[in-house]
Structures are given as structure tokens and as C-alpha cells.
Amino acid sequence: MKIAVLTDIHANFVALQAVNAHIEGWVPDHVVMAGDLVNRGPRPAECLKFVQEKIRTSGWQWVRGNHENYVISQSRQEAPHCGPHFEVHKASYWTYQQLGCDVTALESMPFQQSLRDPAGDEVRIVHASMRGLRDGIYPETSDSALATKISANSAGPQEDPPAVFCVGHTHRPLVRRLNSTLVVNAGSAGLPFDGDTRPTYAQLTFQKGEWQAEIVRVDYDLRAAERDFYTSGYLPDAGPLVELVLVELREARSQLYNWSIRYQDRAWRGEISMEDSVREFRENE
């Protein structure tokens, strides 16, 4: 049994096509897209359409990520469309517009997928962890913290742990074991944050009664992915924060998280413009 898990594509259609080509060459039994398909990237509509077609024709499955929720929130009546809060989240609104202001597909994405291996054990795939769409698993996550992120019901009766627990969200791949569970972070198929710009996905293989995992790196045309920022209008139409997303793409390291710690509250209060906050952030990095 072979399962491919790709995650955190972030509307990088060039990377998605390259990863898909590699997956097709591997010929897995199942393919699961583990969230953050759209947003934080230039070609969300193309990526959504591509994965929907794979679901229809090839049996792909998917789960929702936090970035799907960010776009869904733009459809709510209470979502601001002007002012400081809107400017901070302008890129999500741009994505919402690129999807024709239709979030039906995103709302249909489930929290998790569970597959059964030949031994009858569970392979569980979620975006970040069982604690939520933003509570991720990092290489430095302790075993005690990891146990709470795997458990589906830490406050209730103990469940049988899954044989495999596979996630994304942090954009930092890993393979490790916690007791009887093989824990895999598939990294990012569109926006890695571990210093290597090549997209990743996870190959899960069941052989001789046990699971093994490999993180696969895929070469792709990074320059074409950069051009999409401009040809799509993502830059400049989606706001100044997109400049930091482009740095993330080029350098394979997170930018938005540190920006949010330093500047988001000030931007929300209107104490600093988005343009000035990005300029100041880049000057001090």
C-alpha cells in the first residue's frame, strides 16, 4: 500500500504541477492533499480546479487548512472591506475574488481523512494536528506535546493511536516515531520554510507489516513561480504583505509570522501603514 501526501501548496501552481508529475511516476494507491491549497500564493483558482479534477478523476482526497478558513471568512457578512483590518487581510480577499467569491468547495473540505491499512490500522491525515488547524508539529516539538497533538480526544476515553499520523502546516518536513505511531510532516508542496526551495511531499509505504515514510524533494521552475506573482496581479493588487510572501518563496524561510508578531497589532490600530510596516520589517531583517 502506498499513500502520497502533499500539503501547503499555497496557490503555487507551478510547484503543484511538478509535484503531481512526480506522484504520478510513483503510482500510489491513494493521494491526499492536506490543506492550505489556496491563499498565500498567486494562482489559487488554477490550483483549486486542478485538485478538484484529481478528486473527480483519480480519487484524490483532501482536508481543510487554516488558509482555507481565512478565505472562507472573507465571505462572511461581518468581514471588513475597508480600513486597517481589511488591509492586513487584503491578500485573503484577493484570493476570495480569484475564486469568483465562491467558497463552497472550501467549505466542503473535511477536517481529517482516515484510511485503513492492510492490517486494519488507521492512517490519519489532518492539516496541523488534532488540536486545530494552526497547532502544528515541528522538529523541536517534545514527545509530551506531540502526544496531545495526535490524540483525537485527550479529554475523553483513550483511543487506539493511529499507525501513521501525517500533517503539514509548519512547512518543515519531518519523520519520527512516538511509541507505535509513525509521525510525518509532509513539509510544503509550494512554499517550504526549511531553507530548501524545492517543494516536498511524503511517500508513505506499507511493507512487511509496517509503515515507512520518505520526504521527497521535487525540482521545479522557481523563476516561473516568481513570475506568476506579477502576471496574475497578486503583486501589487493583493497588498504589501505579498512582497514578504515572495521573499518566502525565494529564500524558503518564513516571513509573515515574524511580521505579524512585530507589526500586526500596530497595523490593526492604524498606527503604521502596511507599506511602512513591510519596508521597516525588511530593513531590519
Q: Are residues 139 and 112 part of one domain?
A: yes
Q: What is the pLDDT of residues 206-243, one digit of tens each?
A: 999 999 999 999 999 999 999 999 999 999 999 999 99
Is residue 91 in a domain?
yes
Range of the domain at 250: 235-284
Q: Are residues 256 and 163 part of one domain?
A: no
Given a cut of 90, whether residue 269 has pLDDT beyond it is yes
Whole-angstrom distance between the N-terminal and C-terminal Cα of the chain?
45
Q: Are residues 209 and 248 part of one domain?
A: no
**CATH number for position 197:** 3.60.21.10
| DSSP-assigned beta bridge partners for residue 181 | 178
Q: Which residue has the cell 511538478?
A: 18
Q: Are residues 86 and 37 part of one domain?
A: yes
Q: What's the confidence (pLDDT) of residue 7?
A: 98
Q: Is 174:183 a contact under the CB 8 Å cutoff?
A: yes
Report the candidate in 110, 36, 106 with the shortest Cα–Cα distance to residue 74. Answer: 106
Q: Which residue has the cell 531583517?
A: 285
> Edge-to-edge, what's the strand order for the sheet holding 164-167?
112-116, 122-126, 164-167, 181-185, 174-178
Distances (CA, A) of 84 to 1, 35, 150, 271: 50, 28, 37, 9
Q: What's the confidence (pLDDT) of residue 152?
A: 63
Q: What is the pLDDT of residues 148-168, one digit of tens each?
A: 999 866 444 567 899 999 999
Q: Are residues 213 and 78 part of one domain?
A: yes
For residues 108-127, give the mean pLDDT. 97
Is residue 212 in a domain?
yes
Is residue 230 in a domain?
no
Q: What's the confidence (pLDDT) of residue 33?
A: 98
Compute the half-sphere exposure of residue 95: CA atoms within 13 Å on the CB side of its CA: 29
Question: Which residue among 217, 247, 266 closes a domain?
Answer: 217
Return mean pLDDT, the chain: 96
Could you tell me what percentage of the chain is helix, strand and coil, using 3-state DSSP and rounding each to the nearest 5? 40, 20, 40
pTM (2 d.p.): 0.96
Q: Are residues 139 and 30 part of one domain?
A: yes
Give the β-pairing of 200-207 and 112-116: unpaired
Compute the half-sphere exposure of residue 20: CA atoms within 13 Å on the CB side of its CA: 16
Q: Are residues 209 and 73 part of one domain?
A: yes
Q: Are residues 147 and 13 part of one domain?
A: yes
DSSP state of 212: E
Cell of 171: 512547512
Q: Are residues 55 and 155 part of one domain?
A: yes
For residues 109-137, give the mean pLDDT. 97
Is residue 225 in a domain?
no
Answer positive or negative: Cα dihedral of 105, 28, 206, 194: negative
Is residue 26 in a domain?
yes
Question: Which residue among 182, 217, 252 closes a domain?
Answer: 217
Domain count, the chain: 2
Give the β-pairing of 181-185 and 174-178: antiparallel
Is residue 64 in a domain?
yes
DSSP state of 240: T
Confidence band (pLDDT; 50, 70, 90) for 278? Answer: very high
Is residue 148 in a domain?
yes
Q: Are residues 26 and 85 part of one domain?
A: yes
Is residue 226 in a domain?
no
Q: What is the pLDDT of residues 57-100, one digit of tens each?
A: 999 999 999 999 999 999 999 999 999 999 999 999 999 999 99
Q: Are residues 44 and 184 part of one domain?
A: yes
3-state secondary structure of 113: strand
Q: What is d(CA 169, CA 186) in angstroms, rounded to the nearest whole number?
A: 9
Q: What is the pLDDT of residues 3-58, one digit of tens each?
A: 999 999 999 999 999 999 999 999 999 999 999 999 999 999 999 999 999 999 99
Q: Are residues 195 and 91 part of one domain?
A: yes
